[in-house]
Structure formats: C-alpha cells, structure tokens
Amino acid sequence: MTSTPCTYPYPNALHHHWIEACLESGKHVLAEKPLTTSAGATAALVDLAAARGLVLQENFAFLRHGQHRTVRALVNEGRIGELRHFHSEFCFPPLAADDVRYRARPSAAKRCWTSGCTRCGPHSTFSETP
C-alpha cells in the first residue's frame, strides 16, 4: 500500500467515491464540505468509518470558528449594543467560464454546495437554537 497524505476530490459529486476509497484503505478522513451530496451516502460513510474505527470529519470549521463566540459574548454582555438586525453576505471572485463548479451536471443544485452554506455561520451564532 502506498502512502497518501492527502487527496482533494473535486467536484462535490466525487467526494463519496474518494472518501470511501480512503476509508476502505484504512485512512482517517478530513473531507471538504459537502461530505457527500445525499443523506444516504453520508450515512454509509459514517457507518463505514465507525465499523473500521476511523475518524471521518467534514471540514466545516467556519461554522464553529471562535470569532462567532466572541461576537456573541460581546453582544450578550452589552458591550457593542443590542442586536436588532442581522444581514450577511458571502461571495467569491468569478471563476473561469469552464470551471467545473459552473457545470449543470451532475446536478445544478449540487454545484453550489461548495459555498452556499457559508452564510449560515454568522447567523447561527445569534440563533437561539444550536
């Protein structure tokens, strides 16, 4: 078996295949979001990792970044005033017209999963539900 310190599958539709291959070869996996493009595929990978005693983690650090706890604490302590409205935006520079993230297949909806959930982080900081 050869050593593979890192593999970075792209587009999102390939994540399941490569994550499964890494787990099958006995490797712990830190995968870029989205882990997969379906709940069923994700459940299968979670089960596989558990059965083999491996760690499977989705790289979603932004949602749990300490900066959000700090801002929430400042708001809760009244140090920066009462929160009355919250608005967030996320964008990135345009990509080349032939970039795989713009392809309508394998799924038009799935191509946006790379960044579409990023706006949730700041909002969830101030939500009453976890």
Digits of tens for pLDDT over the chain (130 positions)?
456 666 666 677 888 999 999 999 999 998 888 888 889 999 999 999 999 999 999 887 777 778 888 888 888 898 988 778 777 676 677 888 887 666 655 544 444 555 555 555 555 556 654 4
CA distances in angstroms from 125 to 1, 65, 84, 119, listed in the order given: 44, 10, 14, 11
Give the span between the Cα atoms of 130 and 117, in whole angstroms: 15
Rounded to 5°, angle at Cα 22 from 21 and 28:
150
Residue whose C-alpha is closest to residue 28's, from 45, 10, 11, 9: 45
CA distances in angstroms from 81 to 71, 85, 90, 98, 122, listed in the order given: 11, 12, 24, 46, 17
The DSSP element (H or E) to which 126 belongs, if any, is helix 120-126
Does this model's pTM top 0.85? My answer is no
Residue pair 90/118 in contact (Cβ under 8 Å)? The answer is yes
Task: Report the SS3 class of residue 4.
Answer: coil
Res 104: pLDDT: 58
Residues belonging to the active site: 33
Res 110: pLDDT: 47
What one-character DSSP code corresponds to residue 63?
Answer: G
Residue pair 9/17 in contact (Cβ under 8 Å)? The answer is yes
Which residues lie below 8 Å from residue 124, measured CB to CB, with a gap of 6+?
A: 63, 68, 130
